[in-house]
Structure 1
Amino acid sequence: MPQNEYMERWRKLHGRRLDHEERTRKKAAREGHKASEDAQKLTGLRAKLYQKKRHHEKIQMKKQIKAHEERNVKSSAPNEPSTTPLPQYLLDRSNPTNAKALSSAIKNKRAEKAAKFSVPLPKVRGIAEEEMFKVVKTGKKTAKKGWKRMITKPTFVGPDFTRRPVKYERFIRPMGLRYKKAHVTHPELGVTVNLPIISVKKNPQNPMYTQLGVLTKDGHRSPTIVKMMGVSTPVLEVVKIL
């Protein structure tokens, strides 16, 4: 069993605590108190960063509320002056018009479609093979051959992966560095979700790294583009492994 699935296995065997839902509800209810306490006690640079973050959150919240309120708005003002004559008893009345505002879902779909081909890929600094691979000496003779390589970076292998026989295995992927899930953070919504990885679409470092499923770090290096379950926005396909 992979080392990172023991919590899921325990949950399947023994279930959750009897008061799990109550504890989750109380934790969510305490978040407001924690935010208020941080806003009052933080000082200096941390306070500035926290207030900036809260400012963005409030702006997004107000936008969502406004879009929800404007979904069905009735206005009494006519769009164009009528050319047909009206009787006297209808002159004082105004025809209500419905202004249908775009819902947030349609706006999100348009944003996703616009950003379909604009995945942010920074300039690539090539990772040397000495940093990526570790030479594994093998053989019984005194002059051991060094044709095997052990990958020192996190990798992804599919559920149907089976190792080749040791005699023919050139690239070794350690069990402790195999990732099946990744934490993905949406910068605009401020939401972090744990999603299973389907496949490695592209590693700009090297086509061989894409074939091996190597996940490289972000920052001054180029991130790996990963196809994940339940993710449709290309921005979310950039996985950052800290």
Structure 2
Amino acid sequence: MPQNEYMERWRKLHGRRLDHEEKARKKEAREGHKASKDAQNLRGLRAKLHAKKRHNEKIQMRKQIKAHEERNVKTNDEKEPSEPMPAYLLDRNNPSNAKAISSQIKNKRAEKAARFQVPLPKVKGISEEEMFKVISTGKKTHQKSWKRMITKPTFVGPNFTRRDPKHERQVFLRIRRLGVLRIFANEVVFQYQIHPSYGFTV
């Protein structure tokens, strides 16, 4: 037996404690109280990790419950009759397609919800070379290149005031680029694609 399985070896040789089942049952019963206490008292990163873990557990539990519900549909499917049936009797005694119907309802709901969703375009990251233009300075040599000029439209907020270039290295400069500063964030215009059922785009 491998050396790291010494606990299993001990269990095989000597058995478990006489109250092992009782202790295991009590420990399992306490887990809910412990989780509740942690959820109330944890702070910071530990709280975030705990919340994420509980969130994932609940998702798995809901999926499992839903799978069990779909699996437990009663099916009284009989063999196909030899003679043809009239149309008004075709849907009788045939609940085996309950799963298919439920998925069909889900798809319809998703389509309905998609009509009212506006897909926002994903904003790609801009490299520093593209965003900041290097400006070389210096009386004769022009070898100093710590100054930067912003070339893209930038949201600065209504309370923005400039600082002098000495204290504002690699951010904004005295170069008057007021054309690219935006006080309000909604000045950026997107091209929206509306759901096809509406028949138009914005």
TM-score by length of 2: 0.37
Which one has a larger percent strand, Structure 1 or Structure 2?
1
Q: Which has the larger radius of gyration?
A: 2
Which one has a larger percent helix, Structure 1 or Structure 2?
2
The answer to which structure, 1 or 2, has the higher relative contact order (CA under 8 A, 6+ apart) is: 1
TM-score by length of 1: 0.32
